Amino acid sequence: MRDCIEAMVTAMTSVTTGAIVAPPRTIMSLVDASGQFAVMPGSAATPQVYGAKLVSIHPANLASARPVIQGIVILFDHHTGAPLALVDGAEVTALRTAAASGLATRLLARKGARTLGLLGCSVQASSHLEAICTVRDIAEVRVWGRSPEKARDFVAKHSAKTSAKISAVSSAEEAAACDVICVVTGAHQPVIRGEWLHSGSHVNLVGAHTPTTREADSAVITRSRVYVDSLQSAFSEAGDLLIPIAEGAIDPSHIVGEIGALLLGRIAGRTNEDQVTVYKSLGLVAQDLVTAHALYTRCACQ
């Protein structure tokens, strides 16, 4: 995780500088609307590699304990076009998504952040637990899920994996009353509200990825300094932002900018301890390519 967070520095600055070329992803609904198929191609200058991520999305898999997201990342040599590697797409997605949130948390959360709220208790909750504990000295973790049983199972599974005190809570509001909050659900309607947030908190919004779905209500966005992985993606896919814009609650200038721009010193981050900050994650093929290439390089050197 620590290495992947550093790889996200390369990915996010490359997005902002244009060192990675990636057309908008294609997401196709299956013929019976039971799932989706997504294709995300890209070409990177650093590292010099190109390829694509091919992903299936089957929400009904939750009922059978199968992964909702499955697929592959395929890498090609930049100079010869030779195929280099096939990398498991679900593993890369879990790793790089959390690592990107970890990077955003490292940049935006208060240095003294000690409590973590997890809204959601699936694969992304597991990887986000690891990522946030990598960048902040977390002492307490509160886990909420729409299924109390799954939340308790998550706590039982992860208690031995962290030095923090971890517990299941009965309401999303309890989980939101933390220094860092990661919202990693499959919800289509808000599960976190602005009135619940304490001053100085940082929120990673991860689960929603279409213009008509969101995990946060408009109050979360209006009271926050908002950062994104990609402005282009945010203004075409992020319901967490597009819905408040459509309501007139904010205008596009409310979004401060990209994490890459923050890394490059082009925009400011948190300017005081009382501000609420939000990182809206959509996921980018840049993150997949950089992560997959780092894994490929590590394997090739062994």
Is the overall model pTM greater than 0.85, yes or no? yes
Q: What's the mean pLDDT in 83-93? A: 92
Reported as a single tens digit per residue, the pLDDT across 108-165 is: 999 999 999 999 998 899 999 999 999 999 999 999 999 999 999 999 999 988 889 9
pLDDT the model gives residue 59: 86
Structure confidence at residue 302 as a pLDDT band (50, 70, 90) = low
Domains of the chain: 2-92 (3.30.1780.10), 93-285 (3.40.50.720)
Q: What is the Cα–Cα distance from 61 to 187, expressed in whole angstroms?
A: 15
> Is pLDDT above 80 for 301?
no
Chain segment 170-197, per-residue pLDDT in tens: 999 999 999 999 999 988 999 999 999 9
| Other CB atoms within 10 Å distance of the CB of residue 124 | 27
What is the pLDDT, as a whole number, of residue 186?
Answer: 85
pLDDT at 24 over 90: no
Give the DSSP letter string of 181-237. Answer: EEE----SS-SB-GGGPPTT-EEEE-S--STT--SB-HHHHHTEEEEES-HHHHHHH
pLDDT tens column, 198-243: 999 999 999 988 899 999 999 999 999 999 999 999 999 999 999 9
Q: What is the pLDDT of residues 231-278, one digit of tens each?
A: 999 999 999 999 999 999 999 999 999 999 999 999 999 999 999 999
Closest of 169, 276, 183 to residue 238, by C-alpha? 183
